[in-house]
Structure 1
Amino acid sequence: MDESKGPQGYHQTEGGSVKMPQPVCLIANESGSKLQVNQEALNILSSIKQPVVVVAIVGMYRTGKSYLMNRLAGKRTGFSLGSTIQSETKGIWMWCVPHPCRENHTLVLLDTEGLGDVEKGDQTNDTWIFALAVLLSSTLVYNSIGTINNEALMSLHYVTELTKHIKVKSSQEAESEASFEFIRYFPSFVWTVRDFTLDLELDGRAITSDEYLENSLKLKPSKSPVFKTFNGPRECIRKYFPLRKCFVFDQPATKRKLKKMEELSDADLEPDFIKQTKDFCSYILSHSKEKSLTGGITVNGSMLANLVVTYMDAICGGQMPCLENAVLALSQIENSAAVEKSHALYRQLLGEQVKLPTETQEELSSVHEGCLKEALQLFMARSFKDEDQLYQEDLMERIKEVYEEKCQENADLSRKHCITLLQQLWESLDQESYMRPGGYADYRVQVDSIIQQYRDTPGKGIQGDHALEAFLKEKSDLGRNILMADKSLTEKQQNLEAEKARAEMERFKAEVARQEQEAMAQKMENMERAHRENERQLLEKMEKENKAMMEENERVLTQRLEEQKALIKEGYEQKANEMEAQIKSLQQRVASSGSTCRRRRRRRGCVIS
């Protein structure tokens, strides 16, 4: 596999992934300053054209987050572990590696600064770092120490503040109705409990770590402000992270050994901890999905880099990151790039696959059709949310211009070649030798021979008859002069020969006019076929997008129904009833999504079978 070396020793692979020997800072958090994006990390992300699986880890400082991320990278060292009470990781650090379980995918690991660092006076950046981890990841790991108790959940108060710092819709009117829409954008949630010393038992029976988590997320039935605070993080986790998983870990080794964690081999660690770590890594690597946007749009490294910039621009500008606006901004960037790439592909393929001049217009048209199809396929694969097909129309207009330029180039080359050929053939004709009695008949024999040689010569292209007509018209005065100089012919014979020459020129003109009409009809057919191909691929994309949206609506609906059932089972009838409006709205979306593509077909004037 070919590789090219980039900054900090990272390698770009032929498949579009990267190999980074060590993590780099993605978001810097310097004391007393705003968060800042590291351009080097953006450059690395932008070079990744593969889909990305993004795993971010958050949690209180000094809880061992970096160790788990190093193991996910298949390494023992990388993200800094540290051995003191000071937080090692500042901001968000990134490590991109080829995904060990998914071919042609890149695993992006994000290790975040520890929350609640006592050395920091201002905790504002903690909230933004947590929010960015949520927005950028497809799997969010929350790491804590000891047990899932009320203290641990209160430490997760950042969850309750998410909706205060992130909004779904750009309009305030729509925002009040969009709170349940967060789950379309948010990652799956994994809680890892470190140094767990309790037995997994409840009411005298053994339970799983997942059951332990769900039991910890049960609400307290009271309207007291105290219990409202108690329920806040639990409600938010249940509401915004319906896909949840829990892992518990024994203490890995003695306190003395933990100070040199990076130097320890598996043999130096507790066997149970090693197994728990392997189970965690196996689950994350096999179950974490690609980072995606609403509507099933898969994110690659370049798109992730643009998301980072979009969110950071909002944060640094003192605004709330808006998910709807972020997707819109990303679509504009990606659709513009899709137009450029597809246009370049069409131009490249057309240049490679056709040799000018072509013998017929159909030959060029056939190549054009194949190149157009491939260019549209690339555009459809890369573009998204091109609601009014403005970008697609731009691409089609650009392709049309390139094709017309190629047609003109084809005609010009053919004409030039034909004129050169005719001039070479005409050089054999001695004009002065025919200025004599009987010379006109000999001249006509020679001209007819030149015309026949010209017609028999291959490779003239589409301007063969056009060039011949123009050339003979140019030489018509010479023919008339030779005819008038032929004293062996009577005036009547001269008139007959002149009329015969005029009739021959008219036949040439008629043939050229017929070919021009056929060429125009061919171009019209090309335009119609291009339109049909454009519509065919567009409708396929619309149906695919509609299916993805319907599946997403069904997923969200299922999750909301499950949460409603859980609330009813726990005795929270009122909270369950409050979800009814959301559920009905989702049910309507699912019911109507089947007809969405049909309506869009009608709007475009397509025939529906």
Structure 2
Amino acid sequence: MCLISTSEDGKLQVEQEPLKQIEQIDAPLVAVAIAGLYHTGKSYLLNRLAGSSSGFPLGKTIESKTKGIWVWCREHPKKPNTVLLLLDTEGLGDVAKGDSGHDNRIFTVAALLSNVLLYNMMSAFNQDTIEKLTNAKDGTNDEELGLILPTFVLCLRDFSLLLEKDGLEITPDEYLEDSLQLKCGNDISVINYNRPRECIRKYFPKRKCSVFDRPGDRKTMQKLESVPFEKLSESFIEETELFLKYMYTCGPKVLISSKAVNGRMFVSLVENYVNAIRNGAVPDVDDAIMVVANIENERMASEAVQIFKEKIEQIQLPILHTNNFEELYRDMQTAALANFRIESVLNAEKFVKQALSEMDELWEKIKTENLQLVREHCESLLQALYYKKIGEKRSRGEYKVAGGYPLYKLDLEGVKKDYMANVKGIDGYE
């Protein structure tokens, strides 16, 4: 489904229907976005990740097929209780658009929303590609950037070069790192050469490279969706399987607190980043994460209060011994907040205080109710004892005789003694 489209005035806008569906996903998300020039086979790679040869539409003509950012959610094939969220982005550099600013906005949103960013391109990694990737925000803490920004996976398609350097075979990862080496010198050409490489090294500290041979001849390429995977070139199949093996090991997207992002949190990030870009601002990652954290903490605090409320409703009143009553309160409170303590995000203390305040309020009500029931229990007990020891004798007139009063006082002391024995431990009440 289309997640982020472009309005008539050229601004990004969020589509509500996919947001509603994503919001219902209460599981960690592995968010994989793909970006790169149009007509480089981006959609096909995502379809393979989803375990399908079709899904995201493939462009078969000179016209760019994908507009905006499209989303597809699938159960993760290797990680239980995890969802693979795939983001297919509009191809960069489409001459029909003529708007590099639009390309930058699409790329920025894709990078911020994903925890694995695939950059898809044809053949070798070159200076033009490196410069296209340079679109990051200054002033953010380096350590935070490593947690916020995605793993960068360079996907080189139709790659025909020999992976060799100085006569020795090198890996695709070594080829990527070699492409990002800096030159020595201070003249303007060296500075311009180094700057985008420095940005990539800084903003994408975790990097990988995958190379892919051509899947087949031109006819095969034109009907790639319908050609069985096993009928493609042997080297392309092997390289694709290596790529998939790595991708399926990537963990879920997390916030700075290492809290795995679920559907609700992802939706909040989408809305925050797109709203910032619509208003002409650079998305503030810290603000967006704090909004997500507050929403998630508030939800979990409400859940804790609800758990506490359900536990209260299960209590059999009256509870006669106040020590047990207070102990029960502490146990119930601890149990209700257990998940919150584990899952809370960033500055959670104010939400804990709010939850405790609501629990205290609920507890005061049940304490008042319990007090009344304890009083009724004590009163019933006292009446029963009084009737048994004194009431029957009094009704028969046994005390209306000479020496009746000392007998009455003796029985009354007996009632008190029995009563105190029966209410032992009900301290703090009557």
259, 277, 285: which one aligns with 1:323: 285
1:93 touches 1:110 (CA, 8 Å); kept in 2? Answer: yes
SS in 2 for 1:341: helix
- Aligned pair 1:341/2:303, yes or no? yes
Question: How do 1:522-601 residues align onto structure 2 when only pairs under 5 Å count?
Answer: none
What SS class does the counterpart of residue 193 from structure 1 fall into? strand
Matched, 1:306 2:276: no
String of CA shifts for 1:234-285, please: whole Å, max 9, x gaps.
Answer: 1111111121111111111112221211111124321111111111111111
CA contact (8 A) 1:465 1:512 kept: no
Give me the whole-angstrom Cα distance separating, in 2, the residues matched to 1:42 and 1:476: 74
Q: Distance in 2 between matches of 1:203 and 1:488?
A: 123
8 A Cα contact 2:173 2:209, kept in partner? yes
1:26 counterpart SS class: strand
The match for 2:343 among 374, 382, 390 is: 382
* Gaps in structure 1 of 5+ consecutive residues: 1-23, 169-177, 416-462, 521-609
- Whether the 8 Å CA contact 2:385–2:418 is kept in 1: the answer is no
Out of 468, 493, 497, the position equivalent to 2:381 is: 468
- Counterpart of 2:337, as a letter, is L
Amino acid at match of 2:427: Q
- SS in structure 2 opposite 1:28? strand
Q: 2:237 aligns with which of 274, 287, 302?
A: 274
Kindly indicate whether the alpha-carbon contact (under 8 Å) linking 1:82 and 1:88 is maintained by their aligned counterparts in 2.
yes
- The offset of 1:227, in angstroms, is 3.0
Partner of 1:395: 355
Aligned equivalent of 2:24, options 47, 70, 74: 47
Give the Cα–Cα distance (whole angstroms) in 1 for the partners of residues 155 and 224 of structure 2: 18
Counterpart position of 1:555: none
Structure-2 residue corresponding to 1:160: 134
- Give the Cα–Cα distance (whole angstroms) in 1 for the partners of residues 311 and 283 of structure 2: 41
The reply to whether residue 63 of structure 1 matches residue 37 of structure 2 is no
The 8 Å contact of residues 192 and 249 in structure 1, kept in 2 or not, is answered as yes
Highest RCO, 1 vs 2 (Cα 8 Å, sep ≥ 6): 2
In the TM superposition, residue 67 of structure 1 has moved relative to its aligned partner by 0.4
Q: Which among 126, 135, 138 is matched to residue 112 of structure 2?
A: 135
The reply on whether 1:126 has 2:86 as its aligned counterpart is: no
| Structure 2 residue aligned with 1:37 | 14
Residue of structure 1 in register with 2:183 after alignment: 220
Distance 1:123 1:191 in 2: 21
SS at match of 2:427: helix
TM superposition score normalised by structure 1: 0.64
Q: Does 1:373 align with 2:334?
A: yes
Structure 1 vs Structure 2 CA RMSD:
3.1
Equivalent-residue separation in structure 1 for 2:142 and 2:318 (angstroms): 62
Three-state SS of the structure 2 residue aligned to 1:53 is strand
SS at 1:190's partner residue? strand
Q: Please tell me the residue identity of whatever aligns with 2:59.
A: G
Structure 2 CA distance for partners of 1:219 and 1:83, relative to 1, 3 Å:
same
Q: Is the 8 A contact 2:389 2:415 kept in 1?
A: no
Change (3 A) 1:320 1:507: farther
TM-score (norm: length of structure 2)? 0.89
* Mapped partners of 2:202, 2:3: distance in 1: 29
Name segments (4+ residues, structure 1) moved above 4 Å. 357-370, 410-415, 470-483, 485-488, 504-516
**How far is the alpha carbon of 1:473 from its aligned partner?**
8.2
- Assess, with a 3 A threshold, how the Cα gap between structure 1 residues 267 and 503 changes in structure 2: closer, same or farther: closer
Choose the corresponding residue for 1:76, options 50, 53, 57: 53
Q: Distance in 1 between matches of 2:43 and 2:272?
A: 26
Change beyond 3 A, Cα 1:180–1:394: closer
Q: Which amino acid aligns with 2:360?
A: K
User: 8 Å contact 2:322–2:427 — kept in the other structure?
Assistant: no
Partner secondary structure for residue 225 of structure 2 = helix
One-letter identity of the residue aligned with 2:63? Q
SS in 2 for 1:293: coil
Q: Give the number of the structure whose residues are more often helix, by fraction.
A: 1
CA distance in 2: counterparts of 1:147 and 1:307, whole angstroms:
34
Give the Cα–Cα distance (whole angstroms) in 1 for the partners of residues 284 and 119 of structure 2.
Answer: 23
Q: Which moved more, 1:324-333 or 1:335-344?
A: 324-333
Shift of 1:191: 0.3
Q: Which residue matches 1:91?
A: 68
Q: Say if 1:487 and 1:369 are closer, same or farther in 2 by CA, change over 3 A.
A: closer
